[in-house]
Structure 1
Amino acid sequence: MSAGWAQVYDALAPTYDEMTSGNGWSANRRARDLLDPLGLAPARVLDLGAGTGQTAVVLHELFPAAALTLVDPSSAMLARARGKVPVAEVVSADAASFLRGDDREWDLVAAIGFLELVPDLFELLRLAAGRLGPGGHLVVSHEPLLDDGSVQASPVSVVGGEHRVRRHRREEVERRAASYGLRRIASHEGFAFERSDDGPAVYELVVWRADDT
């Protein structure tokens, strides 16, 4: 996520939870639905783009014994996340920079609700896959490129005059993930939230498992 987006989310932090509850945001609930039946017991969990901690709450409830690290470039959002999950390690950084600079391995990495805001989704997937331990899992959401005539039919949208939302076809995301040693084991596609001016946004949620080697 760019510095510009971080500034946007700093400003949104005080009202973000109320806003997302009002627009029907469902990605975290769907992520729980995908992860819960898998019977995972991760020792180390990384939440990228942690925001106000909505995903972190789900991860902590599912895996209370796991050491949880939250990463986000918005310090205002992280301040709220810290209050929700005080046992978590909190790091102010963009996801790609964190993954390049931290050499720890993780049993589960989450990237929910922000991948369409990063300059290079595929590079972030590659970096995240490289930080998974053998048999580790990566759970993500992304806004796929569609052919439905909506705003999601555009590979790039500009928001607020300067901030870019980037979309990729599901098939290309899956092909790239496979090239990074990731195997899809669960997925869901549906409405993630209601846009104010263009109807519902469609998200794909995927859980990938890393090769054991």
Structure 2
Amino acid sequence: MRDGWVADFDALAPTYDQRTAQDDWRLNDRAAEMLAPLGLAPARILDLGAGTGQTAEALLRLFPDAEVTLVDPAPGMLRAARAKLPGATFVEEDAAAFLAASAGRWDLVSAIGCLELVPDLFEVLRLAAARLAPGGHLVASHEPLLGTGVQARPVSILDRGRAVSRHAVEEVERRAASYGLRRVASRVETAFQRGDGDGAAVYELVVWSAGGV
């Protein structure tokens, strides 16, 4: 994740859960809803861009016996997550750097609400695919390119080195397939209303399985 975003999320950590509740952020619950019909029983879950543990909480409600590792570069966010998930493992690290250095394998990898903020979405997908156990699954969200509005821009440059990157759904799917990922389920969701008057932020949620065609 870009440094400007890390500083932002670190500062937001004490009020992040309250803010997202006010924004009606539901991507974590929607991801769990997509996974529920698949009949999975992951023993090990890796949550990238884990923040305050919202995604991990949703996944543990679905898979209560799983061991969970949460990875996030913002120490303040992980402090909040530790208070809620004392039995989990926590790693203060960027997603791509963690994946590149890890030799671990996970049955389920999640990356919700973070891939549009990393320098290279496709590098994270590629590395995450390589860390899936046989038969494993990856659930992720991204902010796709749309035909109008702010999401018609491939990149939105903000201050302090912050940027939001967007990719066409077709390109994400093509690249994911090249990493050996097969799309199992997907849905498009309104994630929140932007505070700058640009309307709704639209995300695509996708579940891929290891071992694409």
Q: Same fold (TM over 0.5)?
A: yes
**Distance of 1:142 and 1:212 partners within structure 2:** 20
Say if 2:77 is the partner of 1:77: yes
1:65 is paired with a residue whose SS is coil
Partner of 2:188: 189
Contact 1:23-1:195 at 8 Å conserved across structures: no
**Distance of 2:126 and 2:67 partners within structure 1:** 23
Contact 1:135-1:212 at 8 Å conserved across structures: no
Deviation string, structure 1 residues 51-100 (Cα, Å, up to 9, x no partner): 01100101111111111000000000000111111110000000001001
Q: CA deviation at 1:212?
A: 8.2
Q: CA deviation at 1:190?
A: 1.8
TM-score w.r.t. the length of structure 2 is: 0.97
**Distance of 1:10 and 1:169 partners within structure 2:** 30
Partner of 2:211: 211
Partner of 1:166: 165
2:28 is paired with a residue whose SS is helix
Partner of 2:125: 125
Partner of 2:37: 37
Contact 1:137-1:208 at 8 Å conserved across structures: yes
TM-score w.r.t. the length of structure 1 is: 0.97
Q: CA deviation at 1:23?
A: 1.2
**Distance of 1:55 and 1:187 partners within structure 2:** 17
Q: CA deviation at 1:18?
A: 1.0
Contact 2:146-2:152 at 8 Å conserved across structures: yes
Deviates more, 1:170-179 or 1:16-25: 16-25
Partner of 1:61: 61
Contact 2:142-2:203 at 8 Å conserved across structures: yes
Give the partner amino acid of 2:182.
R
Q: CA deviation at 1:117?
A: 0.3
Unaligned segments of structure 1, at least 5 residues: none
**Distance of 2:93 and 2:160 partners within structure 1:** 24
**Distance of 2:212 and 2:87 partners within structure 1:** 29
Q: 1:212 to 1:142 in 2, by over 3 A?
A: closer
Structure 2 matches for 1:123-162, cutoff 5 A?
123-148=123-148, 150-162=149-161
**Distance of 2:126 and 2:166 partners within structure 1:** 17
Structure 2 matches for 1:104-123, cutoff 5 A?
104-123=104-123
**Distance of 1:169 and 1:186 partners within structure 2:** 17
Give the partner amino acid of 1:176.
R
Deviates more, 1:188-197 or 1:136-145: 188-197
Give the partner amino acid of 1:189.
V
Deviation string, structure 1 residues 119-171 (Cα, Å, up to 9, x no partner): 100011000000001110000000001112x1101000012353110000000
Q: CA deviation at 1:5?
A: 1.4
State the percentage of identical aligned residues: 63
